[in-house]
Amino acid sequence: MKYSPLQKARYEYTPKLPEMLKNGISEIGVNEGAETQSVADQDAIKALFPNTYGKKEITFKKGQNTSTAKLHKVGVILSGGQAPGGHNVVCGLYDALKATSKDNELFGFKNGPSGLVDDDYLIFDDNYINEFRNTGGFDIIGSGRTKLESEEQFAVAAEVCKKHGITAIVIIGGDDSNTNAAVLAEYFAAKETGIQVIGCPKTIDGDLKNEDIEISFGFDTATKTYSELIGNIERDANSAKKYWHFIKVMGRSASHVALECALETQPNICLISEEVAEKKMSLSQIADYIADSVEKRAAKGMNFGIAVIPEGVVEFVPEFSMLIHEINELLAGSKAAAFNELPTWEDKYTFIKTGLSAEAFAVIDILPVGIQQQLFLERDPHGNVQVSLIESEKLFSSLVAAKLAEKKANGTYKGKFNALHHFFGYEGRCAFPSNFDSDYCYSLGYNAFMLIQYGYTGYLSKVSNLSKPSTEWVAGGMPITKMMNVERRHGEDKPVIKKALVELVGNPFKYFEAHRDEWAVETCYLYPGAIQYYGPAEVCDIVTRTLALEQE
């Protein structure tokens, strides 16, 4: 069998478009709104983007298409981690392009932004693209994490575009990739290349959002996939009644994924990195918080539970950040070689003890040996600790076990604690996109072409009013510079799109906060089940709890 039954069925699914994009290209008019300003640091951003700053907000409407007809050759790039729906962005872009003229062409640059500078591409046709409609993954052209940020790269990109007659590039990526899209758009405009750049908001992490971008695509499907799995584990835990499951979910900088999964499944514990940072929580305090839930549940005869841990949490623990900083210093440059040559872990441990401050060593000392070794042995090519590789689910379960051992010795805890560990990340990034992501992504791609046709550059494709049925969605575009501010990155002040962390005053966190004490002690699990693609709208078209609460 070449295709699974669901894959075949999904090829036939027709993604829904917002009302104003539905009636065909010739009947899509445009409204230009007010001029925009960056969210902060206006003077600095304006000076850095003299050609693309301050442009107007765009909304499409039903009406006469007033753009000037021309042949369009467009290039598309997928950038960064996979997110369900990426294929549909490409399909929407392709369909709009071909609906305008059969002679229009879509180039797919392969394996991420590097494909553009390496001139590595394919040209889409119906047969090729039809195999990817409504499917997960980025395998349609591949993705990559190479950054397009230097003038040399931009000059090569301009040459490649000129060679093929390409006059617009669509970059599908997260906050970093779209920041680079804005810089590229400014470069192309300053050099009068005539090449437009349009971005599309992607990332399962959900941290590319703001007052204009309500949600990045992929978040909906990925969190529904993790929530299904967490719900299944909850049911298993509640059946067997003998394990505490420590479940790490993706989300390196922000905890939107963990929070959404908690809202969907009501686990006993969910850590939120942003809260850990705000309250300056130590590892020991976090372990106490979890151990308290274990103890209270054990007192009620429930020696089982679920703890959801966001991937990036340890970076938000102040003492841990200090430790990482000291390790990076301790092993900087040639010192790493001396460390690597030490024959045994005991020798290395003595080296570490002498090299770190007493405070940093105190943190090391409470970590399980496996994590200690991970910190020192698995470093990136620059010699830095790879925080994302730290198995924080194991770290916290072992800290909790130590706390419980103390409680047992004091006679306050009499339960049993058996921990199991899981990491849900890659499982969700390439799932078949939910109907929401199928529709949203197709609309983003279609809309990106409309922005190109109307001649805009440096814009992010924007589809909003997303908690409503797709007929009420609003399609348009927002200058990327509007989302930017200046931040210190790698020792330099840089114009960047502001990363959206979980807001502790926002509705989703407030809802979680209001319920978590009960969830910590009682068994209040919710079982969301698998994503539904066919059936009644109330099970097929549900938006995330985060989006629904944000738009309440």
Q: 61, 29 in Cβ contact below 8 A? A: yes
User: Which region, judged by CB under 6 A, interacts with ligand FBP, from 114-122, 202-210, 325-333, 345-353?
Assistant: 202-210
User: Which region, judged by CB under 6 A, interacts with ligand FBP, from 16-24, 77-85, 436-444, 520-528?
Assistant: 77-85
CB of 424 to ligand FBP, least distance (A): 11
For residue 63, what are its two tokens?
């009406």
Residues in 35-74 that interact with ligand FBP by CB under 6 A: none
DSSP letter at 252? Answer: S
Q: How many CB atoms lie within 10 A of CB 138?
A: 25
Residue 444 identity = L
- Under the binding rule (CB under 6 A), the answer on residue 205 touching ligand FBP is yes
- Full DSSP string of 225-245: HHHHHHHHHHHHHHHH---EE
Residues in 172-191 that interact with ligand FBP by CB under 6 A: 174
**Residue of 477, 457, 454 whose CA lies nearest to 57:** 477
Q: What's the CA gap between 457 and 480, in Å, rounded?
A: 9
User: Which region, judged by CB under 6 A, interacts with ligand FBP, from 48-56, 131-139, 250-258, 362-370?
Assistant: 250-258
Burial class (CB in 10 A: 0-12, 13-18, 19+), 359: exposed
**Residue of 252, 249, 205, 251 whose CA lies nearest to 230:** 249
Q: What's the CA gap between 466 and 506, in Å, rounded?
A: 18
Nearest to ligand FBP of 189, 430 (CB atom): 430
**Residue of 157, 31, 146, 58 whose CA lies nearest to 459:** 58
User: Which region, judged by CB under 6 A, interacts with ligand FBP, from 75-83, 276-284, 466-474, 490-498?
Assistant: 75-83
User: Which region, judged by CB under 6 A, interacts with ligand FBP, from 21-29, 31-39, 200-208, 348-356?
Assistant: 200-208
Q: 526, 265 in Cβ contact below 8 A? A: yes
Provide φ and ψ at 217, rounded to 5°: -70, 155
Q: What's the CA gap between 119 and 110, in Å, rounded?
A: 9
CB of 138 to ligand FBP, least distance (A): 10
Rule CB under 6 A: choose which of 57, 186, 311, 315 binds ligand FBP: 311
- Under the binding rule (CB under 6 A), the answer on residue 252 touching ligand FBP is yes
Residues in 400-439 that interact with ligand FBP by CB under 6 A: 429
Nearest to ligand FBP of 212, 311 (CB atom): 311
User: Which region, judged by CB under 6 A, interacts with ligand FBP, from 30-38, 247-255, 353-361, 403-411?
Assistant: 247-255
Q: What's the CA gap between 81 and 136, in Å, rounded?
A: 12
Rule CB under 6 A: choose which of 197, 250, 261, 385 binds ligand FBP: 250
Nearest to ligand FBP of 58, 271 (CB atom): 271
Nearest to ligand FBP of 98, 202 (CB atom): 202
Q: 82, 143 in Cβ contact below 8 A? A: yes
CB of 388 to ligand FBP, least distance (A): 5
**Residue of 343, 313, 339 whose CA lies nearest to 249:** 313
Q: 38, 45 in Cβ contact below 8 A? A: yes
Question: Could you confirm whether 205 is annotated as catalytic?
Answer: yes
Using DSSP bridges, classify how beta strands 484-489 and 492-497 pair: parallel, antiparallel or unpaired: antiparallel
- Under the binding rule (CB under 6 A), the answer on residue 203 touching ligand FBP is yes
Nearest to ligand FBP of 198, 222 (CB atom): 222
User: Which region, judged by CB under 6 A, interacts with ligand FBP, from 201-209, 271-279, 353-361, 503-511?
Assistant: 201-209
Nearest to ligand FBP of 205, 275 (CB atom): 205
CB of 311 to ligand FBP, least distance (A): 5
- Under the binding rule (CB under 6 A), the answer on residue 81 touching ligand FBP is yes
- Under the binding rule (CB under 6 A), the answer on residue 251 touching ligand FBP is yes
Torsion angle in degrees (nearest 10) through CA of 492, 314, 204, 512: -120
Rule CB under 6 A: choose which of 157, 171, 204, 308 binds ligand FBP: 204
Residues ≥6 apart with Cβ < 8 Å to 465: 214, 472, 473, 474
Q: What's the CA gap between 530 and 524, in Å, rounded?
A: 19
Q: What's the CA gap between 204 and 136, in Å, rounded?
A: 12
Q: 276, 239 in Cβ contact below 8 A? A: no
**Residue of 388, 400, 318, 399 whose CA lies nearest to 360:** 318
CB of 82 to ligand FBP, least distance (A): 7
CB of 276 to ligand FBP, least distance (A): 17
CB of 172 to ligand FBP, least distance (A): 10
H helix or E strand, kind and range, residue 280: none
Q: Which of 95, 175, 176, 205 is catalytic?
A: 205
Residues in 330-389 that interact with ligand FBP by CB under 6 A: 388
User: Binding-site residue total for ligand FBP (CB under 6 A)?
Assistant: 13
Nearest to ligand FBP of 176, 212 (CB atom): 176
Nearest to ligand FBP of 23, 386 (CB atom): 386
Nearest to ligand FBP of 30, 385 (CB atom): 385
Task: Provide the binding-site residues for ligand FBP, judged by CB under 6 A.
Answer: 80-81, 83, 174, 203-205, 250-252, 311, 388, 429
Catalytic residue numbers read 205
